[in-house]
Structure formats: structure tokens, C-alpha cells
Structure 1
Amino acid sequence: MSDSAEWQPLRDELRRWTEAERKVKLWFRDDDAIEPTPALDRLLSLSDRFEVPMALAIIPGPTSEPLAECLAQKNRITATVHGWTHQNYAPDDTKKQELGLHRPKEIVLDELHRGFDKLKALYPSQFVPLLVPPWNRIDDALLPHLAPFGYRAVSVFGLAKQAPIGLINTHIDIMRWHGVRGGLPHAEIIERLVEELQNRFDGNEEPIGVMTHHLAHDDLAWGFVETLFDETAGHAAIEWRPVGDFIH
């Protein structure tokens, strides 16, 4: 266990869950996989060491056999569709988006269809029919068209709202994206995680999603993932679940 006092609020909240004999469901999503890298190896080794299942959001356009071969024996890893090329088509003065209506809808949907089919073929036993939109953004007008391609759910960021397809969202982002890139201070992430746990204790049954980006991690980010698993894997109040468990 970590000795750091900044993790104490999480321990205190989990003790409350344990005393109430309750469990919370967590799932782990890592974005932007394309090929084997030392950073991906490091992430996979943490999954193995702590026996935590992970969903990799794989960018279908540029990915190929090497990644599939790297993951083939990793039975805790699932493959999900991360857009098509993770390319931004939004104007410079707006938030980045690949899956918007900045291009003809038919083109965007065709890419999502191809991405689904490509990853399903590359990962016959590890694929789950989940779309992870790049930058966690997708135009609502596209959502009703996903099911015919085989998609069963979408994963963006924040508490789930009503949608024409299942939502399995992430709620904890460990990264600082503005200014100097890298992991957020641990105390800041823990504060957010405790808020999500309190929300679940009060009755929201949505699983808590933790989002990472292995290619962007610095020592602070890697340290958070390792300590999080150390604190929670095997904990009486925590169930780390594969994302496929939440897809109906």
C-alpha cells in the first residue's frame, strides 16, 4: 500500500463502503493505442501484475497486425473502436472533434463502420462493440446510426445522460491537457474519485470509468495508475470489471 497521506481520503471512503458491506464497480479505459510501444508494455504489465482488466481504445485506421499479435495472449485486455484516424475536423476556434458534422455524415459513418469491422477481424476474441469517440466527443445526430453497424454502446466523459445507444462513460481523467502535459497531482484525482464514489454510494449505479493515455504519461501519471491498483485491486469494496460486462 502507498504510505502517502494524499491517498487517505480514498481509503476513508472505501472503508465506509466496506463497513456498509457494499461494492462499487470500476472499469479502466486507455486511449490511442496503435502499435506496440514500451509505454504500452508498461501498461499491460500493470494489468497483469494487479489482475485489472483494461479496455484499449484502438485507432482503427493506422493500426495493424503487430498490435493484435502483442495483445493476443492478454485475456484481461479488450479492444474497442477509437474513431477512425483520430483526426480533428473541427474549426480552429472550437473543441477538437473527429466525429462531428464538419464532413458529410455518410463519410463519418462509413469510417465508423470500417473501424468496427477492422477491429472485429483483428481481435476475434477480445473485441467489444464499444465506440470511444476521440476527444470524448460525438455529434448526437450520429448516435442513432451506430447500432446497424454492430455497436452496442458509446463511451465519452462524464455522468451518462439519456441517449439512443448505451453509454458506458469514463469519469476520472488522470491527465493534465493544458499547459505542461503530464499527470495531474494525485490529490486532485483522488478528490474527484472520492466524489464519484460518494455519488455511487447515494444510489447512482453507473460504473466508474478511469481514463488514461499511456503514450502521454509522465512519472506522475504512471505513479498514479500503479498506486491506484495497489490501493484498490482485491479491496473488499472494489470490483474492477471488464467493460464487456456492462454492454447489454
Structure 2
Amino acid sequence: MGTTDHDLPQTYRMDLGTIPGNEAKKFNLDEIRSTHTELMNMVEIFLTQIGIKFQALKKDNFSCTSEWGTEPYGSFLITCTRTMIRGLCALFGKAFCQDAVGVCSSYTVDGDLLHTCFLITTHDGSKINFDDALKITNIICSIFPKLSSQRDETGRYMEFHDYCNECPSITNGDLFQLLRQNISKNISYQVKKYDVKSFLIKNDDYIAAIENTQLKQLEILLQMNQLHMKSYNENFLLCSKVAIKTVKHSW
């Protein structure tokens, strides 16, 4: 039998957030950045321990979407089969209670759909500081809410992705005008448009994706941990409510 694309080791970029889907828009970045960074360090340790070839591109970054708000994320270049990257995304997606995990496959021969990306840099190559990046994100995403922003950890550039190709009419000039009108006149920006290959591993895909890899036993441990945390949190809350009622009645 011949091999398929799913059997060939290729390099994928996994973009991983850590705020649970049902907690979206409830935290600001300063509240959760240290926890997020620690979780990304644990992802590195995990990938090292299971012998996966990878490179951590950016661990302390942020993205902004209309659905999930502004949240931290990390990006990892991972060399493995397509089956394995789907399994890894599903495992991390379950661990961090994510609605979906995005994968860039532009480095592969896979036939994934293209989506549009706008790349923003300064003309002189200077860094876009964190505060300016947040301001740029808020300005552009308020006008074009279907775009998803991402900032490079080094501050060298920002990306605005139209993952579902819902905004085909947006041009470089549209974003350039917004920047020129709303951002410091002392900084000159340039905007480039290009296409990116990508796909999503959604929550509904997690179980099948994990079962197709050698990660099933790890998922069981994960389920045990989640059940343990959920059960004891609920029991703690129940006991707390009973205790509060008891105290009230004692008065």
C-alpha cells in the first residue's frame, strides 16, 4: 500500500489558547498572562517527553476575535503526521477547554483551503509595542469584527486573519487608512495581503482525532483530572452554601 498525506511527517503551526470557551471575555490579559505562560511551558515539556519534533514560536502572545475577545495564545511549529497534529490539537483543546484549535498548514502539501491574511509592519522595521498593538487591534476589529488579530511575540509584526473568508472586499488600503487616521503620526505602517492554508480542529472532532493516535491513554488521565476538579469544586461550593446558611440561621 502507498502512503497518504496523513502518513507523511510535515510541519504544522499549532495556535493554542488557554482561556476556556465558556469563560471568554471574562478576563483581561494582565490577570492571566502568567498562568498562560506557565501552561505553554508545560506544553513544551509534554511535547519533549513524547518525542515530538517542535519549535516554540511564541508563547506569550495575544489574539482578538469578535467571538472570544482578547486572549493569550501560543504558537508551536510541530513536525509530525497530519493524524498526529489533529490528535495533539484535540488533546490540548480538551485540556484547556477550547471550542477549537487552529492549525496553519502553509508549510505542507496538504490541500487545505486558503484564507486571507493581512500583515502589518512598521516601515522602518521597528517593533510594534504591546500598547500600540492593542490599540491597532481594537481599531481594526471594531470596524471589521470578522478579522482575527494576532501579534508576533517579538513585536515585529501583526496579522489579521479572515479565517472563514467572510470579508473578501477588504483591501490593504482599508487597513492602511484606519492606521493612518487613528494611530500616532510619528509611526508609519505598511500593510501586505497574502494567502494562508489552515484548518480547525473543533470540539466535535476531539474524540475521533484522539482515538486515531496513540494519545488515548493520556486522554483518560485528562478526563480523570477534569472529573476530579469538577466534582470537588462543586462539592466545595455546595458545602460552602450549606455553611453559609448554617451561619445565617445561627444568628
TM-score for both structures, normalised by structure 2: 0.32
More strand by share: 2
Larger radius of gyration: 2
TM-score for both structures, normalised by structure 1: 0.32
